[in-house]
A and B are shown apart, each in its own frame.
Chain A
């Protein structure tokens, strides 16, 4: 018997393959090199791989839409833009990971044990975090590019499994971090099971696992509509969990608070891009024909997400929990772009994801700087009067918060404006009204933090703003400048995105 090897389009897959190859090399480094030299080598491999992969994405930008690996992956405009965004965000995440002593010396050691004390004394860190991050990036790059349900599920797990582990690697407050990992893992696996069950019923409905096959079955095939509804609902539960949409948002604040802050930054920014990439592709490409079945439900979820995120954030006393609820609210705003279901909505979503991602990385980078003797200080009450200690950093943090709030002259305003415009033009007035109202509520707690930082006198406290080292400084300044630049001159990026905003069908 003669079996022909399938053709893999290595050129189109190069950005993904580079990242995954670097991750495997990273595992080898962990196995064969001595503990002292691992961390700098891992950083060099990771940064090199991300830059190389980014250059491959840039080279592919003008090429026509292709499918690769026997139709299981599609490389089209939105995919390339999202892969580029994920890579740029990962670059900054790596700088944060490298910079701060946020990671446990030995994650397996029991907190407080002599084993842990010895590991800390030896000056090691758990440098496995680099290959884990690379695997997660690989999964994130495949997730929006997946062209069938099998690839989609495998990519979802490849991006999730490393994140579960990385959430538990914090150096300080180990019990909190382990608890975050447990919660993230159990709820993440739970949602994956829903995703898989939904995928099974969509396959049962369409008789085909490819997204194109599902599209043709949705737009008038012989399929059983009950299977379609069960499949759509279960699949959406799995995806909405990943982006932290209400009522599936319960894990977000706990995991964001417990995970090491560089990982929180990575998770908040890059996972959102990947997960919304997949959501946009599934709803725009595959399920577009069944829009009247899912639109009311998704509209309700979007409104609920925006309101829950904005209202509960007011009551938070921890900065990372507050930013977590803010990210939930932003997931709601982004769902508006999915509901719009037009090219304008896709373009606005891509812009929103890029600008939100870079602002988020910057904000969490700044959170790592506010410290006392025992590590980062999350308690908002102890942030009072921080501008006295570091005016520049307080000012930059305000820029990030104003961008989250969507105040004009920042990237957040342009993002919200374009995405609400797209939803309005497609006739979804209710979701736009809810979005504007919850933006107003959200503005309240962002401004409250700014008032606390600038206009409240500080009590005597031991909180300091650490002098940022080169990597963190670079991340914060680039994030701040990008946030302002995209707010003042959004046209170049919006025009650039326009050339990318058509899904292959």
Chain B
């Protein structure tokens, strides 16, 4: 199969994630959309590794997975803390600062 198709898929997934971050209200869902964007980038890396015929893209994909795992740890800690103090994980409720 033509590897370019994977690039289109990657771009579509990335766009879904990018739009999702903007339109969704729950912090967890927003965060999942960001993870989708990271994985779309990973797909692009692996596809380019196949196209270019070297391994650097695949190595980068592993690094991205590790970094994404760290991001989950930090992100969920922040989201859980804010949920405990507000009883809500909606990003629209968190608006004390802009007043």
Distance A365 CA – B81 CA, assembled complex (angstroms) = 28
Are B94 and A197 in touch, CB under 8 angstroms? Answer: no
User: Known contacts A174-B85, A186-B27, A201-B44: does B51 contact A181 (CB below 8 Å)?
Assistant: no
User: Known contacts A190-B21, A258-B97: does B44 contact A182 (CB below 8 Å)?
Assistant: no
Q: Which residue of B lies closest to A198 (CB)?
A: B41
Tell me how many residues of A have a C-beta within 8 Å of chain B: 43
Residues of B within 8 A of A199 (CB): 41, 60
Are A200 and B78 in touch, CB under 8 angstroms? Answer: no
Residues of B within 8 A of A161 (CB): 70-71, 74
Shortest A184–chain B CB gap in Å is 9
Are B48 and A204 in touch, CB under 8 angstroms? Answer: yes
Residues of A within 8 A of B52 (CB): 203-204, 207
Distance A253 CA – B96 CA, assembled complex (angstroms) = 12
Residues of A within 8 A of B27 (CB): 182, 186
Distance A446 CA – B84 CA, assembled complex (angstroms) = 40
Selected from B41, B70, B78, the residue in CB contact (under 8 A) with A185 is B78
Distance A153 CA – B71 CA, assembled complex (angstroms) = 13
Residues of B within 8 A of A174 (CB): 85
Shortest A132–chain B CB gap in Å is 10
A149 within 8 A of B: yes
Shortest B67–chain A CB gap in Å is 5
Residues of A within 8 A of B60 (CB): 149-150, 153, 199-200, 203, 209
Residues of A within 8 A of B94 (CB): 179, 182-183
Are B54 and A207 in touch, CB under 8 angstroms? Answer: yes
User: Known contacts A175-B86, A183-B94, A204-B48: does B31 contact A197 (CB below 8 Å)?
Assistant: no
Q: A interface, by DSSP: helix, strand, loop or mixed?
A: helix
Distance A161 CA – B10 CA, assembled complex (angstroms) = 25
Residues of A within 8 A of B59 (CB): 150
Residues of B within 8 A of A196 (CB): 37-38, 41, 64
A157 within 8 A of B: yes
Selected from A154, A186, A200, A207, the residue in CB contact (under 8 A) with B63 is A154
Residues of A within 8 A of B17 (CB): 193
Selected from A157, A179, A257, the residue in CB contact (under 8 A) with B70 is A157
Q: Which residue of B lies closest to A255 (CB)?
A: B97
B9 within 8 A of A: no
Selected from B48, B82, B98, the residue in CB contact (under 8 A) with A178 is B82
Identify which of A105-113, A271-279, A422-430 touches chain B.
A105-113
User: Known contacts A182-B94, A197-B14, A203-B56: does B71 contact A189 (CB below 8 Å)?
Assistant: yes
B12 within 8 A of A: no
Interface size class of B (residues with CB under 8 A): 35 or more
Are B97 and A176 in touch, CB under 8 angstroms? Answer: yes
Q: Contact flags (1/0) for B46-66 with A, using CB distance below 8 Å?
A: 011001101011011001100
User: Known contacts A161-B71, A182-B91, A182-B94: does B37 contact A193 (CB below 8 Å)?
Assistant: yes
Shortest B96–chain A CB gap in Å is 5
Distance A168 CA – B84 CA, assembled complex (angstroms) = 14
Q: Which residue of B lies closest to A151 (CB)?
A: B63
Shortest A460–chain B CB gap in Å is 26
Are B98 and A189 in touch, CB under 8 angstroms? Answer: no
Distance A108 CA – B75 CA, assembled complex (angstroms) = 14
Are B91 and A186 in touch, CB under 8 angstroms? Answer: yes
Q: Which residue of B lies closest to A321 (CB)?
A: B97
User: Known contacts A107-B81, A208-B56: does B44 contact A197 (CB below 8 Å)?
Assistant: yes
Are B44 and A204 in touch, CB under 8 angstroms? Answer: yes
Residues of B within 8 A of A108 (CB): 81
User: Known contacts A161-B70, A197-B44, A200-B45: does B91 contact A175 (CB below 8 Å)?
Assistant: no
Are B34 and A193 in touch, CB under 8 angstroms? Answer: yes
Q: Contact flags (1/0) for A390-432 with B, using CB distance below 8 Å?
A: 0000000000000000000000000000000000000000000
Q: List 30 A-B contacts (CB under 8 A).
A: A150-B56, A150-B59, A150-B60, A153-B63, A154-B63, A157-B67, A161-B74, A164-B75, A164-B78, A165-B78, A175-B86, A176-B96, A178-B78, A179-B97, A180-B97, A181-B82, A182-B27, A185-B75, A186-B31, A193-B38, A200-B42, A200-B45, A200-B48, A200-B57, A201-B44, A201-B48, A203-B57, A204-B48, A207-B54, A208-B56
Q: List 5 additional A-B contacts (Cβ < 8 Å) besides A107-B81, A157-B70.
A: A149-B60, A154-B63, A175-B96, A193-B17, A193-B34
10 closest Cβ contacts across the A-B interface? A193-B37, A204-B48, A200-B44, A207-B52, A196-B41, A254-B97, A197-B41, A179-B94, A189-B34, A209-B56
Taking beta carbons and an 8 Å cutoff, which residues of A are in contact with B?
107-108, 110-111, 149-150, 153-154, 157, 161, 164-165, 168, 174-176, 178-183, 185-186, 189-190, 192-194, 196-197, 199-201, 203-204, 207-209, 253-254, 257-258
